[in-house]
Chain A
Amino acid sequence: MSAILDVSGLTVDFVTAGGTLRAVNDLSFSIREGETVAIVGESGSGKSTAALSIMRLIPDPPGRLTAGRIMFDGEDLATTSEAALRGVRGQRIGMIFQDPMMALNPVYTVERQIGEVLRLHRGLSRREMQTEVVELLRLVGVPAPVERAKQFPHNLSGGMRQRVMIAMALACRPKLLIADEPTTALDVTVQAQVLALINDLKQRLGMAMLLITHDLGVVAETANRVIVMYAGRKVEEGSTTDIFDDPLHPYARGLLKAARWESQGGEDLWEIPGTVPSPLDLPPGCAFAPRCAEVVPRCRQEKPQLGKAAGREVRCFVAQEGRR
């Protein structure tokens, strides 16, 4: 199948008082039709910035899309006009956000908010809109959709609000759904329901999905392919099964080990020592070297490039040389 989204060399800078920091550095990946690709990484790894910059939603200033091509449906979103982007946003690419409380406008009813998308992109009349809103709410599994449509965001529970967000994102049947931490702000019990819903809708509507998360459980259940990001760079990319079975990059291994603590009963929680370095003060060599358990002297002097190892892309000297 052909790639619906093809990102190459995406570089995003933020101009701050302390200097220019590179939040996303030369990121390339593609998503095929109907495929789910997950970007995982800690806070500050640049995964959310990458997701937002696909639709050029990073605030400019201070953010700036410095380099890269974002080919979507034969169109380069990195260079296209703002007017053309508005036709893509919400219509051909839908987006759902982490916190459904914050992402809905508190002064409007559910009907008005979903209706806004229909009005913007599909020019429906008021009558058609009302029917369509109820239809969408039913699609995302909101019980009593006719009554719910008249309510305000604060009348709804977190799970219901996220369903409303999903309904808004899907209102125009986009080809690609970008989900930025879609379940992070929800109760654990609701997380599974929302995740199942997203998966189900993705199948039914034949969408591709870009999933941004730090929750590896979510990745395992949804993604076909995984991109691991660290300090603004892709450090490993491969199929979900490959990466879960045999992570090559020490950082990916650390993430998985930290996530699998429950199966090791009784031990202390595993964590990767240290924190993500400040993008203003990156080490001269590999950005992960100061926290890496398998570091070799070369890691501290030279920046590793993406290279093939075991049929996957990985940015690590040790893994590339197969010395582990």
Chain B
Amino acid sequence: MSGFAAFWRRYRRNRAAVAAAFVLILILAVAVAGPLLYPVDPFDMVGRPFQPPLQRFLLGTDVAGRDILAGLLHGARVSLFIGVLASVVATAIGVGIGALAGYYGGWIDNLLMRITEFFLTIPSFVLAVVLVAIFSPTVFSITFSIAIVSWPSVARLTRGEFIAHRDREYVLGARALGMPDREIILLQILPNALPPIIVVSSLMVATAILTESGLSFLGLSDPNVVSWGYMIGVARTVLRTAWWMAAIPGVMILITVLAINLVGEGLNDALNPRLRRR
């Protein structure tokens, strides 16, 4: 496929993005295969609490004597799952609302943009806290809440792209051929508007992971699963005596978010039509 080859040629020029992509693939592999290769239940009390790393257990044990390595591997699944799913849902909502607002304009645009601004004016983290508190924390309510606070930026971006494209001649051409609006939006404009949206929603995965960690840190995490944020939350009371307990999942979050951001920038370099001609 020549489209992909051209994309890869442009993406490859950003070395940091290539490295980050490999790191990200590694983290994904860990999330998928880790719990299978290291089958220890992260909730099992396997030994004495507060064991430092590199002794009986590779990464030590936490305040309740649970294996930190097991938590890290299982937590990767949950953190990435929430991050990716929240981003996908937020992108779907944002693209839908932004596309309708941008394509139709007029009162539809006014209405949808006022709703979008309503969400933008509320500090997103506070709103997420409120939503999770209302729905009681489960993986799905957390994902849903993060998506609800994240879509407005995608909606605004999509709207802008659609406004830029809707008056282009190829759209007029499609209308002159008798194409219905639904197909013009989905088949004609959306493929052209997609590159910047892909960039933003890839970066949103990183923000979603951070938001999930923040929520967990405040105790708003699904009690049935381990996530990186939950592990930091558990360790925060013993930060001065057992700093590694918070630092280990913290570093994982740092590496993952950094890798996603670098990949996002690489995608931007490769997909952004305004930079393409450099």
A105 CB contact (under 8 Å) in B167, B170, B176, B178: B170
The answer to whether B188 touches A55, judged by C-beta atoms less than 8 angstroms apart, is no
Cβ-defined contact, A107 with B192, below 8 A = yes
CA gap between A165 and B180 in the complex, in Å = 19
Q: Which of B106, B169, B178, B187 contacts A121 (CB 8 A)?
A: B178
B177 and A120 contact, CB distance less than 8 A: yes
CA distance A165 to B208 in the complex (A): 45
Q: Which residues of chain B have C-beta atoms less than 8 A from A85's C-beta? A: 178
Q: Given A86-B179, A88-B178, A105-B188, do A97 and B173 touch, yes or no (CB 8 Å)?
A: yes
Cβ-based interface call for A166 (8 A): no
- Contact of B167 with A59 in the complex, beta carbons under 8 Å: yes
A61 to B105, CA, bound (A): 8
- Minimum CB–CB distance from A237 to chain B (whole Å) comes to 25
Q: Is A110 an interface residue (CB 8 A)?
A: no
Evaluate contact between B178 and A61: CB separation under 8 angstroms.
Answer: no
Q: Which residue of A lies closest to B172 (CB)?
A: A57
Q: What 0/1 pattern do residues 145 to 174 of B give for CB contact below 8 A with A?
A: 000000000000000000000011110111
Instruction: Look across to chain B and name the residue whose beta carbon is closest to the beta carbon of A108.
Output: B191
B5–chain A nearest beta-carbon distance, Å: 14
- Determine if B175 is an interface residue (Cβ-Cβ < 8 Å): yes
* Alpha-carbon distance A55/B106, docked complex (angstroms): 21
Contacts A57-B172, A99-B169 given; indicate if A105 touches B177 (C-beta within 8 A): no
Q: Would you call A238 an interface residue if the criterion is a C-beta within 8 Å of the partner chain's C-beta atoms?
A: no
Interface string of B184-225 (1 = CB under 8 A from A): 000110011000000000000000000000000000000000
A279 in the interface (beta carbon within 8 A): no
Q: Would A86 and B178 count as touching, CB distance under 8 A?
A: yes
Identify B176's interface contact among A59, A95, A104, CB under 8 A.
A95
* Contact indicator A90/B105 (Cβ below 8 Å): no
Is residue A242 within 8 Å, beta carbon to beta carbon, of the partner chain? no
Secondary structure type dominating chain B contacts: helix
Interface bracket on B: 10 to 19
Question: When chains A and B are docked, how far (Å) is the Cα of A117 from the Cα of B192?
Answer: 19
**Which of A87, A91, A97 has the most chain B CB atoms closer than 10 A to its own CB?**
A97
Q: Report whether B168 and A102 are in contact in the complex, using a CB–CB cutoff of 8 Å.
A: yes
Q: Please count how many residues in chain A sit with their CB below 8 Å of the partner chain's CB atoms.
A: 30
Residues of A near B172 (CB, < 8 A) are: 52, 57, 97, 103
Cα A165 to Cα B105 with chains together (Å): 28
Contact A57 B176 (CB under 8 A): yes
Q: Flag if B192 contacts A106 (CB, 8 Å).
A: yes
Say which residue of A59, A97, A120 sits within 8 Å of B169 (CB atoms).
A97
Chain A: minimal CB distance from B192 (Å): 6
* Neighbouring A residues of B175 by C-beta, 8 Å: 57, 89
Given contacts A97-B169, A102-B169, A105-B170, contact A120 B105 (CB under 8 A): no
Verify A120–B168 contact, CB threshold 8 A: no
- A120 to B179 alpha-carbon distance, docked (Å): 7
Given A59-B167, A102-B168, A103-B170: A120 touches B178 (CB 8 Å cut-off): yes
- B28 → chain A, closest Cβ, in Å? 29
Closest beta carbon of chain B to A175's beta carbon, Å? 14
Q: Which residues of B sit under 8 angstroms from A108, Cβ to Cβ?
A: 191
**What's the minimum C-beta distance from B168 to chain A, rounded to whole angstroms?**
6
Judge whether A55 and B169 touch: CB under 8 Å. Answer: no
* Cβ B173 vs Cβ A103 within 8 A: yes
Nearest residue, chain A, Cβ from B2: A152
Contacts of B177 in A (CB 8 A): 89-90, 116-117, 120, 168
Residues of B with C-beta under 8 A to A52:
172
Q: How far is the CB of A147 from chain B (nearest CB, A)?
A: 14
A-B contact pairs, 20 of them (CB 8 A): A55-B176, A85-B178, A87-B178, A89-B176, A90-B179, A95-B176, A97-B173, A99-B169, A102-B168, A102-B170, A103-B170, A103-B172, A104-B170, A105-B174, A105-B191, A106-B170, A116-B177, A117-B177, A121-B178, A168-B177
User: B residues bordering A, Cβ < 8 Å?
Assistant: 105-106, 167-170, 172-180, 187-188, 191-192
What 5 A-B pairs have minimum CB-CB distances, sorted nearest first?
Answer: A90-B177, A89-B178, A102-B169, A90-B178, A95-B176
A102-B169, A105-B174 known, 7 other contacts, Cβ within 8 Å:
A57-B176, A94-B176, A97-B169, A99-B169, A103-B169, A105-B188, A168-B173
